[in-house]
Structure 1
Amino acid sequence: MVASLWTLGFLAVIALLVIVIWSIRRHRDPKLEVQCDAPIDDLVTSLAGITLSTPVDGNSVELIENGRFYDVILERIAAARQHVHFETFLWKDGQLGRKLAAAFIHRARAGVHVRIMLDDTGSRNMGKDVLKQLRDAGCKVRFFHKRSLRNLGVLNNRDHRKLIVIDGREAFVGGHCIVDEWLGDAEDGCHFSDLSVWLHGPIVNNLQGVFSENWTGDSGELLVGEGFFPKLERAGDVTMHPVFVKPENSAPTIKILHHTVICLARKRIWIQNPYFIPEPEAIKAFGAAVKRGVDVRVLMPSTSGSDNPMVQHAGHRNFEMLMEHGVKLFEYPHTLLHQKVMTVDGIWSAIGSTNFDDRSFETNDEITLAILDKDLAGQLDGVFEKYVKRAEEIDLDRWRHRSWRHKAIDNMFYLFKSFF
């Protein structure tokens, strides 16, 4: 009897600690409301302000698709003269990883400062020999939330950003990972699709700041001086701002951005995202957009095309609700579509590392660029149209009658969606 009471007491203490930790770490997640009739191109300053950022004018942006991305970055790394700053989530040992490591090693031996920020969970299979070679050559390599007792409470918080800054004068942001399946041109199930952007202009200073956040937090090294943050002249006419801040106990800015632009859209919202699991508030916002006459379409991989079918099943759980609200859903069965893209009204775009789910919105460290540029939005919509031709639109009536087994799997994986 005494032993049972001790056991119950111990379990009660554990339960209390869990509640206390949750209450400390939770953030405010309000039901977002937008009352504004202005077009999205008149609201760039507002979107930047509510996401704790500032619009930056005078930039150029070039879209880079699929495996060509690695040809470009390897060329630009080879041209680096002062520093290369690289941050990514997923790096697996293979042809691509070793080729990139060789490029870093070559520059480090030439006196270029190479700083590499990797997520400890996503990059644990990069290869011990590759890591040793990088460090032996003088590259500084740090791991975000390295597995240790000290980090026990934050192991589920991952650095999911994909970011490169070279000499403080050019940058790359997008979804590309350092895994061999990202090579090629999405021609089959062994070669994935993805998008990144190549940036010049004053925005690069902001992206250097994004890199420095996690680098300084882990290494203690402050990146200060004109070598890191040079005065950058105009490189074009594109206005954009980075969204990445995750204030303690407040709604994350990336979630605010995505939900707000859904509420502002007037003509269309086209989304390409590999892990699409909107919460009820976002689904209601999509439905309200459809009622306003907005064409809402989502393109994603099917379970057969995904690298993580569990996530697709979790997303399936709310497909019926989305289609009842008038959202058109398309699944691509041929390979993984990994691009994280959203365009609004053919003039505004969001592109970066962010998945459309609460793991990305609320837990991960992410980077999304909000870009006002009709040409880029047109290019992104063109990518959508290219892949949607071979995708399968989901029919609401057929979906309602999918097997009980399919429904059970969907609901089961939805329960664990925050841990994938």
Structure 2
Amino acid sequence: MTNHFPFLDTALTIARYALAISVTIHVLLTKRDTSASTGWIGISWLMPLTGAALYIMFGVNRVRRLAQRLIGQHHWDGRGAIAHLRQRVEGQFAPLARMMGRLTERPLLSSNAIQCLHDGDNAYPAMLEAIESAQHSVLLCSYIFRADQVGRRFVEALARAKARGAEIRVLVDGIGSGYFYSGIVKALERENIPCHRFMHSLLPWRMPFINLRNHRKILVVDGKLGFMGGLNIGEENMLRLRTKLPVADTHFRLAGPIVHQLTEAFARDWSFTCGEELDGDIYFPEPEKAGNVPMRVVTSGPDNDMEKIEFGMLQGIAMARQNVRVMTPYFLPDERLASELCLAALRGVEIDIIVPKSSNHGLIDFARDANLAPFLNAGCRVWMAKPPFNHAKLLVVDDGWSFVGSANIDVRSLRLNFEINLELYDEEVASDLAGFIDTHKANRLTHHTLDSRSTAVKIRDAAVHLFMPYL
């Protein structure tokens, strides 16, 4: 059959090759992961048109490019005011402190105080009291912020602070706090409280960002008092309410120079979301000494902070001599973090991994169970905590270094989410956290428990584990 459009066929062929070559060059110049690079290059040559479209949508890290541009435009004057409060660490953890300083480009700060608050029953009253005392500013970021009775109490407190003249900024995640409809955003808008949804859009060409979530939980009042940790805002975190699926958690009240770093983390996210720069004395007042605990904020996300929290975990575990305690709601470490834990166990370090027997995501539990045998083989002790489901994220090494915050030990948290953790070089804090973790060592997992699963369950768990990066 005669082809009446030879020019069109030639043009399409040239376009296919051009697209495949363009994707290949971009992948080679920007991607570090060889398996991901091979996959993108392969699909671009097998299906040039479809492959190029998928790569443009899901393969190009626009988040990092946007972050680099915004960070170059903003300066946050408050950072310079804390230089004289830098803390040096001696002894076992000195190399870790130096590495984290270079990695994060944030100083380890002295003269801080910390209070551990378990569950919403203890944390919410302290947070609300802080908001009620606000005179100049309140910055609030939460992955989940529900429009239930707990959420309404926060909105009312924020409205009263605004009426007193305080500057209020609220940032919620575009997925966690409702994608198609966000009741809390509507409630905040009714009070004329400035609020934005992080990376939220219903436009099809913005859909690639649906997989990138702001999982940070931050509250800063007057630039002097801060809260961070794993606690979202919702009724399920109030254990005394006895909700259908109660969630235990751990949050931290911070005072001292460290609050500047917490404010800076929020300011970056706020600027990233809406372009407004938060600066000046109402957000970055002169730091005040509050205690003697050295601390540093560590942020991570698919921007300029790629994998920094995971690198901190890797280095902390590598330096362990005696014990490592890990408490996490979701345990799906990537290959290098799993290897580091197993190698530590093999060299004689006591590794205790505490996970919930049943979390609030059944698929994650299936994937986790499929990958626990290597940890048992290496000598790690895995414990299944009793209900209620505990959402705390805690890591303690040798009763001297603690790493706490919003990051779970899974690929989503460590590669895709925007997370915030806090490292602390203090034996008293580490001892208290270690004691809390130990109270949840209820049922030790054994090889027999794993082997006794039916073949059907093993197949199910292994199949779900294949989707680990997306859970």
The TM-score, its normalising length taken from structure 1, stands at: 0.89
Q: Give 2:342's aligned residue.
A: 287
Q: Count matched residues.
A: 404
Q: Establish whether residue 103 from structure 1 lines up as the match of residue 154 from structure 2.
A: no
Give secondary structure in 2 for the equivalent of 1:260. helix
Q: Give 1:406's aligned residue.
A: 457
Q: Establish whether residue 373 from structure 1 lines up as the match of residue 409 from structure 2.
A: no
Deviation, 1:41, is: 5.1
Deviations 1:60-89 (A, max 9, x none): 111111121001101111010011100010
Task: Report the AA paired with residue 100 of structure 2.
Answer: L
- How do 1:233-312 and structure 2 match up within 5 A? 233-246=288-301, 248=303, 251-303=306-358, 306-312=359-365
Question: Counterparts of 1:339 and 1:289 in 2: how far apart (Å)?
Answer: 23
In structure 2, the CA distance between the partners of 1:137 and 1:277, relative to structure 1 (3 Å rule), is: same
Deviations 1:214-270 (A, max 9, x none): 111112111111221111122111111111144658852111111111111111110
Identity of aligned residues (%): 26
Q: Give 1:119's aligned residue.
A: 173
Instruction: Give the gaps of 5 or more residues in structure 1.
Output: 28-37
Question: Counterparts of 2:131 and 2:465 in 1: how far apart (Å)?
Answer: 41
- How do 1:12-411 and structure 2 match up within 5 A? 12-19=48-55, 24-25=60-61, 39-40=92-93, 43-66=96-119, 67-124=121-178, 130-149=184-203, 150-184=205-239, 190-246=245-301, 248=303, 251-303=306-358, 306-388=359-441, 391-411=442-462
Deviations 1:311-345 (A, max 9, x none): 11111121011111111111124221100010000
Deviations 1:36-74 (A, max 9, x none): xx6225632322222333211111111111121001101
Deviations 1:165-190 (A, max 9, x none): 10000100101111211002698974
Q: Give 1:34's aligned residue.
A: none
Q: Do 1:238 and 1:372's aligned partners in 2 also have CA atoms closer than 8 Å?
A: yes
Deviation, 1:280, is: 2.0
Structure 1 stretch displaced more, 283-292 or 198-207? 283-292
Moved over 4 A (4+): 19-23, 125-130, 185-189, 247-251
Give secondary structure in 1 for the equivalent of 2:247. coil
Deviation, 1:24, is: 3.8
In structure 2, the CA distance between the partners of 1:121 and 1:26, relative to structure 1 (3 Å rule), is: closer
Q: Give the number of the structure whose residues are more often helix, by fraction.
A: 2
* Alignment RMSD: 2.7
In structure 2, the CA distance between the partners of 1:249 and 1:182, relative to structure 1 (3 Å rule), is: closer
In structure 2, the CA distance between the partners of 1:41 and 1:381, relative to structure 1 (3 Å rule), is: farther
Deviations 1:124-160 (A, max 9, x none): 1797564334223231110001123252221100000
Give secondary structure in 1 for the equivalent of 2:353. strand
Give secondary structure in 2 for the equivalent of 1:307. coil
Task: Report the AA paired with residue 241 of structure 1.
Answer: R
| Higher RCO (CA 8 Å, separation ≥ 6 residues) | 1
